[in-house]
Chain A
Amino acid sequence: MALADDGLAIEGHGPVRNRELLYRNIKRVYWKKQKKRGGSYLSTQAFTDPQYRISVYRAALCGNDPSHAQEEDEDYVRGLYAEDVRAIDTVIKFDNNEPTEHYRVDVAPAPRCDDPSHAEIFTDPEITSRGVFKRLQARLVCISRWEKGYSPSDAEGE
């Protein structure tokens, strides 16, 4: 039986618990190494989706194996916790400095026929403004971390 970090059982169609680790597949094109200046960074577009529903995989339901999230062997993997995603609860759309819409950020199961570990990060209500999604993307870069063995530095050491 799969368990979250808090020891509670996890089911494929059950809600995503706060202490669950989520994997996000990262294409290499979204990472830049600064050749002359040193350092590196990840693009906000590593967390993009045309429908504003970001695809992730629940670690506890895929054997805590980051490679499960990889679309291709060369892809990287970032990890982030569901509670950190839900903590982004202040996404607000402002018009003329007046708050007009509040978005609650959440993650929910979105099992596919061949993969019960699939889930999606989304907002409630659904985002209608690209500006709001841009801010959410920047925040997701901040709260996610490279998974050991699936980072650019690991790939360089191949």
Chain B
Amino acid sequence: MTVLAQPSRDIPREQTTARTVYPFPPRRRFVFTEPEAIYENYRTPLDETLDDIDALLTWPAEWDGYQVAPSLDAVTWARSWIKSLYDEVEDKSAGSQEWIEPLVVADAHRNVVFEWVEAHKRLVIYVSPNTVQYLKAWGPDIWSDMDEGNAETPDERWALWRWLTTD
């Protein structure tokens, strides 16, 4: 049964004035010395990677001899691709695997590039507005120790993550 709040019987309604003092608790004092720590608690490990992707848009708009900003379409697609991978790692591993933050850069053709190195394995993902491709390297030989292909479907994405994170 729902009980509605009733006015206090000790103070008749007609006697309540603007000067009435209610017993509020003491005013809370906010401490602003370390707000970052509180903020970080609410961020997922993915957030840092998403920030890194957005930061690529501050790179030079034209090739400067060493770097160039990716296209906006590549950034949008890269955010979607990495979110999907993050969700798959969370769902499929059921907490048994830890998310590994990639290095996030852009290549000279304005694609977003994710890169992980685990032990002797290197996984490079190239996200263009139209395709997502990978390079796997597990040794120095360009032919026998490296492989490349597409990384667009959930199965392809998950297979690459499994390759990277298992012995």
Chain B contacts for A39, CB-based, 8 A = 117
Q: Which of A102-158 contact B (CB under 8 A)?
A: 130-131, 134-136, 138-139, 142-143
Q: How large is the interface on A (under 10, 10 to 19, 20 to 34, 35 or more residues)?
A: 20 to 34
Closest CB of chain A to B82's CB: distance in Å?
Answer: 15
Chain A contacts for B107, CB-based, 8 A = 45, 48
The CA of A92 and the CA of B117, in the complex, are separated in Å by 24
Query: With A45-B106, A139-B140 in contact, is A37–B100 under 8 Å at CB?
Result: yes
**B146 lies within 8 A of A44 (CB):** no
The CA of A43 and the CA of B137, in the complex, are separated in Å by 13
The CA of A109 and the CA of B103, in the complex, are separated in Å by 32
State which of B14-22, B62-70, B85-93 sits at the interface with chain A: B62-70
Chain A contacts for B105, CB-based, 8 A = 29-30, 43, 45
- Chain B 128-147: CB-based contact to A (< 8 A → 1; otherwise 0): 00000101010011110010
**B148 lies within 8 A of A44 (CB):** no
Chain A contacts for B113, CB-based, 8 A = 43-45
Is B79 part of the binding interface, using a Cβ–Cβ cutoff of 8 Å? Answer: no
Is B83 part of the binding interface, using a Cβ–Cβ cutoff of 8 Å? Answer: no
**A29 lies within 8 A of B67 (CB):** yes
Residue of B nearest to A134 (CB): B135
Residue from the list A30, A92, A135 in contact with B135, Cβ < 8 A: A135
The CA of A48 and the CA of B101, in the complex, are separated in Å by 22
**B66 lies within 8 A of A71 (CB):** yes
The CA of A134 and the CA of B107, in the complex, are separated in Å by 10
Is B124 part of the binding interface, using a Cβ–Cβ cutoff of 8 Å? Answer: yes
Chain B contacts for A37, CB-based, 8 A = 100
Chain B contacts for A35, CB-based, 8 A = 101
Closest CB of chain B to A98's CB: distance in Å?
Answer: 13
**B142 lies within 8 A of A88 (CB):** yes
Query: With A71-B66, A134-B135, A139-B140 in contact, is A32–B103 under 8 Å at CB?
Result: yes
Chain B contacts for A48, CB-based, 8 A = 107-108
Residue of B nearest to A50 (CB): B108
Chain B contacts for A92, CB-based, 8 A = 142-143
22 A-B pairs whose Cβ atoms sit less than 8 Å apart in the complex: A25-B66, A27-B66, A27-B67, A29-B105, A32-B103, A41-B103, A43-B103, A43-B105, A44-B115, A44-B135, A45-B106, A45-B107, A45-B108, A48-B107, A71-B65, A90-B142, A131-B148, A134-B135, A135-B142, A138-B124, A138-B137, A139-B142
User: What is the interface of chain A, defined by CB distance below 8 A to chain B?
Assistant: 25, 27, 29-30, 32, 34-37, 39, 41, 43-45, 48-50, 55, 71, 88, 90-92, 94, 130-131, 134-136, 138-139, 142-143
Given pairs A41-B122, A138-B124, 17 additional interface contacts (CB within 8 A): A27-B66, A27-B67, A32-B103, A37-B100, A39-B117, A43-B103, A44-B122, A48-B107, A50-B109, A71-B66, A90-B143, A94-B143, A130-B109, A131-B135, A131-B148, A135-B148, A138-B135
